[in-house]
Amino acid sequence: MFDLDFSERIAAARSTFRDIRAVVDVDRLAAEIAELGEKAAAPDLWDDVDAAQKVTSALSHKQAELKRITELEQRLDDLEVLIELAREADDADSAAEAAEELAGIEKTLGDLEVQTLLDGEYDDRPAVVTIRSGAGGVDAADFAEMLQRMYLRWAEQHGYPATVMDTSYAEEAGIKSTTFQIDAPHAFGLLSVEAGTHRLVRMSPFGAAGKRQTSFAAVEVIPLMEETAEIEIPESDIRVDVFRSSGPGGQSVNTTDSAVRITHLPTGTVVSMQNEKSQIQNRAAAMRVLQSRLLLLQKEQEAATKKELAGTITASWGDQMRSYVLAPYQMVKDLRTEHEEGNPSKVFDGDLDAFIAAGIKWRKQKPTD
């Protein structure tokens, strides 16, 4: 005997789907796709490569969003047919298939529901993530590299393009800092809740055997802005240094001084870039990130509110937002949302969706100051 009474769960799923469809505004989304499609079909589209990439990227993201909605509606319709067939045939295998599909639909609905909460000014922008090792010496540098891999694996699993823009390697192991860009629908909105101090507790592979080590790393997330005249940076306000790109252990990646470091003298903001092949390309990429940072700084100062976007992150005791404990027990716990997972290996391999969803819901429910 098997249970085929999924009526309450399906009704709840249908209700949630209707709410999501209304928030997404499918008709508006379809109109935007049609407009972008016309632009993408223009014969002179690629005369301006940067503009063309923005059009095709926006079109791809919006098409993917509409596809998720339409496919989900079809899955709900198909599920009800499958349940009816299983009931008529008294088929246990079909019943098990229906239960599995319903669970999958509920998860997809949960993911989409979280996305509808992303209504911030910059939530739909690509994200620029910077990770810096903090207190903890070589363990902290190794931890920073573990976090970099974690976020890049998360992006890879979702099919989101990720580009490492700059990495400063530590002498013994790991990295001092890294900056990378993730381009996804609502990338900043999703990853902004990952900003803060992360703490790792483990048996150190670098110290004396049997001794636990606590180390810290800071994660900063900013939105990558469109190129805009909103922030003008006079040449007199910046210092540009060029240097040779380097890899682990100081080995040269290329034989030209193509890497660029730009210092904004009035604020002390520093941006380094070495991913591109030419000095000109690295300078352009660094200026865009610098412009994004300065625009956020300007808006924070104008609003005179708490730093909700990048914030000040000290990467030490007292202000950690998430703990990764590998010894004496296995646990990853977010100290803001109380969400926890008992398998740190999965989390470090990019299984972050539950933490991100919990963070977004927590932020939405948090009272404003």
The contacts of residue 178 (CB under 8 Å, 6+ apart) are 130, 131, 144, 145, 148, 164, 166, 167, 168
25-34, 200-209, 294-303, 332-341, range with the lowest pLDDT: 294-303
Helix or strand run (H / E) with residue 105: helix 92-116
* Predicted pLDDT of residue 1: 41
- Res. 307: pLDDT tops 70: no
- pLDDT tier, 195 (very low <50, low <70, confident <90, very high otherwise): very high
| Structure confidence at residue 230 (pLDDT) | 61
**367 — pLDDT class (breaks 50, 70, 90):** low
Residue-range domain boundaries for the chain = 1-117, 127-224+313-365, 238-306
Average pLDDT over residues 293-316: 62
pLDDT of residue 303: 56
pLDDT at 314: 56
pLDDT score recorded for residue 114: 86
Q: Which two tokens stand for residue 302?
A: 């104008």
Q: What is the mean pLDDT of the chain?
A: 86
Q: Using the predicted structure, report yes or no on whether residue 235 has a pLDDT greater than 80.
A: yes
Same fold? 1-117, 127-224+313-365: no
Indicate the pLDDT class of residue 306, thresholds 50, 70 and 90: very low
**What integer pLDDT is reported at residue 304 of this predicted model?**
52
- In this predicted structure, the answer to whether residue 237 has a pLDDT above a threshold of 80 is yes
Provide the pLDDT for residue 364.
Answer: 84
Q: What average pLDDT does this structure show over 68-96?
A: 89
* Predicted confidence band of residue 3 (pLDDT cuts 50, 70, 90): low
Give the separation between CA 76 and CA 81, rounded to whole angstroms. Answer: 9
CATH class of 1-117: mainly alpha
Reported confidence tier of residue 4, pLDDT bands at 50, 70, 90: low
Condensed to tens digits (0 to 9), the pLDDT of residues 196-233 reads 999 999 999 887 666 889 999 999 999 887 665 467 78
Q: Give the model's confidence band at 343: pLDDT under 50 very low, under 70 low, under 90 confident, else very high.
A: very high
Average pLDDT for 270-288: 85
Residue ranges of E strands in the chain = 127-133, 162-169, 175-182, 196-203, 212-223, 238-243, 259-264, 269-273, 320-325, 331-334, 340-341
Domain boundaries 238-306, CATH class: alpha beta
For the segment 21-35, what is each residue's pLDDT rounded down to a tens digit?
A: 988 889 999 999 999
For 102-160, how does the pLDDT look when each residue is reduced to its tens digit (9 = 90+)?
A: 999 998 898 888 888 888 888 988 999 999 999 999 999 999 999 999 999 999 998 89
- Give the architecture-level CATH label for domain 127-224+313-365: 2-Layer Sandwich (3.30)
pLDDT over 90 at 365, yes or no? no
* pLDDT beyond 80 at 187: yes
Tokens of 173: 């192991």
Would you say 138 and 172 are in contact if contact means Cβ atoms under 8 Å apart?
Answer: yes
- Return the DSSP state at 237: G
What Rg, from alpha-carbon coordinates, does the chain have?
Answer: 23
DSSP letter string, 159-172: T--EEEEEEEE-SS
